[in-house]
């Protein structure tokens, strides 16, 4: 006799595309059998981060994940002080100091929720020294603390970390299901969903992209910049690179220049105030300084992610151009700028588009290794301009 379907908390309904994961977590929540540490495993785009946030809603919500209360809304918007999403702050992985700051934060009482949740992404980048600093805490955390670690495969994660977590496997979500998921989540059209997935990578991030007018503006600016490269001179290209960087800064909440920023607009100050709200009287000056350093690194990581998203928009556009050059009978992703795709394709050649794509990939690699974003964008745009200008004999 099969086990009856569990009652699914509303917060977990976002996992309808992963029914086995949804039902497993729902049973754990409704039966009061939540683990102290989970390891979510699966391919990019399978909804692991979305699942982690949904489970966090169930943990901090007084109604076990109603999806409607202030606690749930704050978790969903990533503004809940007791739910922290932590990402590697270095191109090579998690920093030991980053993990130590996390460990120092764990004993503190929840600010407003009934528990605390720490979500660590890309734990394959948790190197041995940083992992060893975290092991004891993951094994025996305080009773009101839950860890949710996110990775791709067990093979990429240190065995000592794997052995201390309950594993939850996510199946690969097909592109069609991913598109439908985004359409459902934000009421987008199929074209909008496909563009958002191409730029943001996962259904969850695609939804965030479509809800952000400033992030959509970065994509529009990148498309326009690539489209106009053929008639731009070098000075125009350098100005375009600057405009792209400033658009990304605006999208992540950083003023374009210090001269435009007042203390009230300082993103580090704002984030720090949100992080320590309600704890000001209990934190030492040294602890606040450490938290401020962590906030600065998080802002840097967010900026890097924004730059990568802009490059993904360029890559998506150029892949459509390549499809057109090769007369591949596959619908292009960027249907809203189909005329621009056709115009670029008419003035270039397959080899040129391939070289342009290589230039975008090189820029992404540079930014991942902390090269100045404006310099990376300048070099990329100049290389793309040169690559797309194929000599007639090569067309």
Q: What is the pLDDT of residues 59-87, one digit of tens each?
A: 999 998 998 898 999 898 888 889 998 88
Q: Give backbone dihedrals phi and psi of 155, rounded to 5 degrees, phi first.
A: -60, -25
Residue with token string 């892949």: 319
Q: How far is CA 6 from CA 51, 111, 124, in A?
A: 17, 31, 32
CA-nearest of 124, 122, 196 to 154 is: 124
Mean pLDDT value of segment 133-148: 89
Q: How far is CA 293 from CA 248, 265, 352, in A?
A: 22, 18, 43
Per cent of the chain over pLDDT 90 is: 49
Computed over every residue of the chain, the mean pLDDT equals 86
Check: CATH 3.40.50.300 for 10-173?
yes
User: How many whole angstroms separate alpha carbon 252 and alpha carbon 216?
Assistant: 12
- Boundaries of every domain in the chain: 10-173, 212-394
User: How many whole angstroms separate alpha carbon 282 and alpha carbon 310?
Assistant: 41
Name the pLDDT band for 394 (thresholds 50, 70, 90): very low
User: How many whole angstroms separate alpha carbon 248 and alpha carbon 317?
Assistant: 18
Tens-place pLDDT, residues 311-359: 999 999 999 999 999 988 889 999 999 999 999 999 999 999 999 999 9
Mean pLDDT value of segment 274-296: 64
pLDDT at 175 over 90: no
Q: Which residues pair with 83 in a beta bridge?
A: 117
Name the pLDDT band for 271 (thresholds 50, 70, 90): low
Lowest mean pLDDT among 6-15, 56-65, 273-282, 294-303: 273-282
> Three-state SS across 213-263?
HHHHHHHHHHHHHHHHHHHCCHHHHHHHHHHHHHHHHHHCCCCCCHHHCCH
Mean pLDDT value of segment 369-378: 92
pLDDT at 275: 61
pLDDT at 258: 45
- Close Cβ partners of 293 (under 8 Å, ≥ 6 residues apart): 97, 101
- Which helix (H) or strand (E) segment holds residue 157: the answer is none
Q: Which residues pair with 40 in a beta bridge?
A: 150, 168
Per residue in 84-118, is it b (16+ CB within 10 Å) or e — as a string? bbbbbbeeebbbeebbebbeebeeeebeebebbbb
- Close Cβ partners of 240 (under 8 Å, ≥ 6 residues apart): 225, 228, 232, 381
Handedness of CA 104, 107, 112, 117 (dihedral sign): positive
Beta strands in the chain (DSSP E): 37-41, 83-86, 116-120, 145-151, 166-169
Name the pLDDT band for 393 (thresholds 50, 70, 90): very low
pLDDT at 41: 94
Mean pLDDT value of segment 89-113: 82
Q: 242-246: long-range contacts (C-beta < 8 A, 24 or more apart)?
A: 242/374, 244/218, 244/310, 244/377, 245/307, 245/373, 245/374, 245/377
As a whole number of angstroms, the longest Cα–Cα distance in the chain is: 72
Name the pLDDT band for 178 (thresholds 50, 70, 90): confident
């Amino acid at each position: 006799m099969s086990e009856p379907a569990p009652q699914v908390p509303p917060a977990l309904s976002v996992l309808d595309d992963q029914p086995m994961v949804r039902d497993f977590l729902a049973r754990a929540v409704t039966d009061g059998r939540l683990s102290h540490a989970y390891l979510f495993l699966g391919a990019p785009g399978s909804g692991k981060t979305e699942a982690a946030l949904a489970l966090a809603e169930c943990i901090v919500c007084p109604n076990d994940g109603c999806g409607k209360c202030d606690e749930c809304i704050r978790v969903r918007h990533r503004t809940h002080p007791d739910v922290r999403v932590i990402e590697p702050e270095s191109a090579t992985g998690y920093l030991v100091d980053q993990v130590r700051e996390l460990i120092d934060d764990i004993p503190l009482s929840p600010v407003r929720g009934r528990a605390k949740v720490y979500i660590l992404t890309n734990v394959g980048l948790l190197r041995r020294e940083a992992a060893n600093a975290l092991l004891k805490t993951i094994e025996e955390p305080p009773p009101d603390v839950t860890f949710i670690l996110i990775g791709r495969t067990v093979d990429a994660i240190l065995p000592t970390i794997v052995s201390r977590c309950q594993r939850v496997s996510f199946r690969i979500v097909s592109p069609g299901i991913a598109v439908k998921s985004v359409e459902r989540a934000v009421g987008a059209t199929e074209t909008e969903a496909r563009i958002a997935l191409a730029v943001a990578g996962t259904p969850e991030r695609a939804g965030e992209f479509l809800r952000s007018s400033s992030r959509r503006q970065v994509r529009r600016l990148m498309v326009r910049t690539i489209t106009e490269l053929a008639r731009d001179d070098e000075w125009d290209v350098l100005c375009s690179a600057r405009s792209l960087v400033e658009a990304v800064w605006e999208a992540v909440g950083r003023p374009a220049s210090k001269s435009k920023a007042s203390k009230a607009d300082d993103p580090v100050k704002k984030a720090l105030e949100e992080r320590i709200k309600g704890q000001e009287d209990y934190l030492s000056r040294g602890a606040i300084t450490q938290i401020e350093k962590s906030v600065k690194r998080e802002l840097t990581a967010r900026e890097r992610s924004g730059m990568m998203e802009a490059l993904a928009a360029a890559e998506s556009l150029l892949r459509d151009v390549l499809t057109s050059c090769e007369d591949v009978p596959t619908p292009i992703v960027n249907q809203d700028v189909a005329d621009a795709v056709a115009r670029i394709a008419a003035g270039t050649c397959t080899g040129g588009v391939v070289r342009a794509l290589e230039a975008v990939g090189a820029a992404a690699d540079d930014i991942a290794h902390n090269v100045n974003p404006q310099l990376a964008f300048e070099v990329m745009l100049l290389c793309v301009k040169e690559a797309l200008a194929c000599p007639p004999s090569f067309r």
